[in-house]
Amino acid sequence: MGFTPVEAPADASPLIFEEDEAATTWQPLFTHDCTFGPAIFDSVVANLIRNPNINSSWLFRADILHDGTKPPANPFSAVPVFCGFNLQQCIVRRLIPRNTMRDDPMEQTCLIYRSTSTQEDDDNKNQQTLLIYLPHVNSPDQMPYYHPKVRGVAFLHDWSSQSSGTISLSYLYFDPSDRSVEKLTRTALNLLQVVHKHGQGRVKGYQKRVHHDVVVPQAKLQNTYTRLKQKYARSLIQNWAEVTDPDKHVFEDLCIAAFLIELWDDMFSSVQTFPGFVDIGCGNGLLVYILNMEGFKGWGFDARSRKSWVNYNMKLKTENGEEDSLRELVLLPPPVSRAGLAQVSTENFDEKMIHDGRFPKGTFIISNHADELTPWTPILAAISDCPFIAIPCCSHDLTGAKFRAPVPKDKAKGVSTYGSLVVWVSQIAEDCGWEVEEEMMRIPSTRNAAIIGRRRHKQDTEVVDIQSIVDKYGGTVGYLDSVIKLVKPGSTSAGH
């Protein structure tokens, strides 16, 4: 069913009435047929109340302040009583904008009513559900940008005994003349369309496949992200040294940094000293820089330096004295044979650029769009007994060659190239003894799946046969040759 709403004329009769005769009239704007019943409408409403960002990209989320069958002890205003309806649920939420420097949060009361007569009572009566949004403002001037400048929004779901129904939207205007304001009408149309789309989608059997905020709670992540964005974003964008899009990379790395900060708070809150981190294939070094600036000491390396390193490189105090936080190195994992190194001419080869992939126990390994190093991440973590996060991007096997990961047997996990890669790397991690957690990152990238290993499901006394795992997933033939090419003086390869 396409979206073809019927617009109500300006003088249309109201669809809902308050018992208080002095109350302002609720003006209907649009009505649309629907094939989803009360249960689906309830489910859609519950999701939209808790996720206002579905309706507005200006919003992060809603914090629920009250949820009960009655209003809170001190409601913002009197709860309206509607003719023919009983109040079933009262939710008070605080809408959290993405940019709190531009828009203020706003509290809003959400009221759900049921018709007093239902189909179960009388087959000749329709089942009606009414959802009311009442913003906690007293005038249009107090309304934030992300909310229409109206006193209230009403959705009426009217379901007949013939398994068909309608959904409609009405406004409670501050001023009746606002009925002619085009922006308000356009917003009403969009709001109704979202309800219609989600309801019809569930009729067709749609089930949400992407689940955010599994590892780190949404509120904690977004609050930290907002703080980092306000602290760093402007200067990072203004001083961007690369040819890539600064907005995408800055906001993406700020969000990943926020996620790691909250993840580490959960992991290391009882530890006096943060164990440090290493970012393998760190690219422009921005993520390393942000984390160091936030007091989480660590370093990163890549096969070649970037222009940005001049701005992001920091001196770290180590047991060996001061060392750079960003270093030009390539990785030669322990399972890769070193036999070929002896045959390489020293004039064309700098062995000092090779890192063996062994890190101090407990060091947190970051692998963010590290390409060739992605499948190696859980293996290196197992070898050194280090927790890790891997955010896959391009698909490579253990030899460093591009390849298409096999489609998983469980088709529910996705059959795309990227979905297959995520499942394949997760399988490597599981075989290495990791309890794998997955999180769909809230970053501006379609390559946003995070694979996290912070606990082992193997006992410490059990030995994981790393070589057999490497052999199982294709071996390492060809990897050494790729590394040698990368470390030859004058090499311009992007590498890892």
pLDDT of residue 119: 46
pLDDT of residue 121: 52
pLDDT of residue 163: 77
- pLDDT digits 0-9 by tens, 46-100: 999 999 999 999 999 999 999 999 999 999 999 999 999 999 999 999 999 998 8
Q: Nearest 5°: phi and psi at 4?
A: -135, 75
Domains in the chain (CATH in brackets) are: 6-203 (3.90.380), 218-487 (3.40.50)
CA separation for the pair 214, 440 (Å, rounded)? 8
* Cβ contact 388:400 at 8 Å: no
pLDDT of residue 452: 98
Per-residue HEC secondary structure of the chain comes to CCCCCEECCCCCCCCCCECCCCCCCCEEEEEEEECCCHHHHHHHHHHHHHCHHHCCCCEEEEEEEEEECCCCCCCCCCCCCECCEEEEEEEEEEEEECCCCCCCCEEEEEEEEEECCCCCCCCCCCEEEEEEEEECCCCHHHCCCCCCCCCEEEEEEEECCCCCEEEEEEEECCCHHHHHCHHHHHHHHHHHHHHHHHHHHHHCCCCCCCCCCCCCCHHHHHHHHHHHHHHHHHHHHHCCCCCCCHHHHHHHHHHHHHHHHHHHHHHHCCCCCCCCEEEECCCCCHHHHHHHHCCCCEEEEECCCCCCHHHHCCEEEECCEEEECEEECEECCCCCCCHHHHHCCHHHCCHHHEECCCCCCCCEEEEECCHHHCCCHHHHHHHHCCCEEEECCCCECCCCCECCCCCCCCHHHCCCHHHHHHHHHHHHHHHCCEEEEEEECCCCCCCCEEEEEEEECCCCCCCCCHHHHHHHCCCCCCHHHHHHHHHCCCCCCCCC
pLDDT of residue 24: 82
| pLDDT < 70: residue spans in the chain | 1, 117-125, 161, 208-209, 342-349, 414, 458-462, 488-496
pLDDT of residue 461: 47
pLDDT of residue 459: 56
* Token digits of residue 268: 């290391």
* Cβ contact 156:170 at 8 Å: yes
Q: Within 10 A of 183 (CB to CB), how many other CB atoms are there?
A: 10
pLDDT of residue 128: 96
